[in-house]
Homo-oligomer: A and B are copies of this chain.
Amino acid sequence: MSKIIPVHNESKKESISKNAAKLFRKKGFSATSMRELAVDIGVEASSLYNHIGSKSELLQIICFKVANDFINQINELEQFEIGVTSKLEKIIRFHIHKMLEDYDMVYVANHEWKHLQEPFLKNFLNQRKLYESKLIEMIKLGISEKSIKKLNPEVLTFTILSAVRGLEFWQQHKKNIDIEELEKTMVTQLLTGLIK
């Protein structure tokens, strides 16, 4: 008989969730079976149900962990008394760090949330919308302060979000570039453009 062995001091539920995130990212939520997850952990599928309620619950844990992390970060940031563009820079850098550190979970939250069941689906989308509107308000403030170009604030926001959410590309190129260069390039490009 094998055992579910959590690393460090995380709970077994967390341990299973991280394993699930890895598989959900690689194969997608629907294409990942509980049996595969069990094999990956080294246990029988039925044993998992001593620790979790359902496959769906695993997706919930992953998605809301990520959503909360981002919401918390932007809430903290709002307290700071710094300029809008500095805040944007901090947000971009946070996205980069998060994506590189919790790759599997962030990827799954970004790509597999549609498989959440109600009421979690609505809940998740609300949190996302909240995050987006905080960012939009930030940009609008920048425009009114004349530190940001007078362009459509929603488009500006979604372009930034799309760019940082696309950082999953970078897992495969990780070795060829260091994080500081990655951050510098993206911040520069998104804030000041690529044309000289």
CB distance from A82 to the nearest CB of B (A): 15
Which of B148, B158, B173 contacts A170, CB < 8 Å? B158
A182 lies within 8 A of chain B by Cβ: yes
A39 lies within 8 A of chain B by Cβ: no
**Are B169 and A162 within 8 A (Cβ)?**
yes
Contact digits for A139-174, partner B, Cβ 8 Å, 1 yes 0 no? 100000011110110111011011111110110010
Q: Given that A115-B31, A162-B163, A169-B162 are contacting pairs, would A195 and B152 also be in contact in the complex, using a CB cutoff of 8 Å?
A: no
A contact residues, range:
35 or more
Stretch among A11-19, A50-58, A59-67, A184-192 lining the B interface: A184-192
A98 lies within 8 A of chain B by Cβ: no
Restricting to A62-88, which residues have a CB under 8 Å from any CB of B?
85
Bound-state CA distance A153–B192 (Å) is 16
A114 lies within 8 A of chain B by Cβ: yes
Q: Given that A28-B30, A166-B161, A166-B162 are contacting pairs, would A194 and B156 also be in contact in the complex, using a CB cutoff of 8 Å?
A: yes
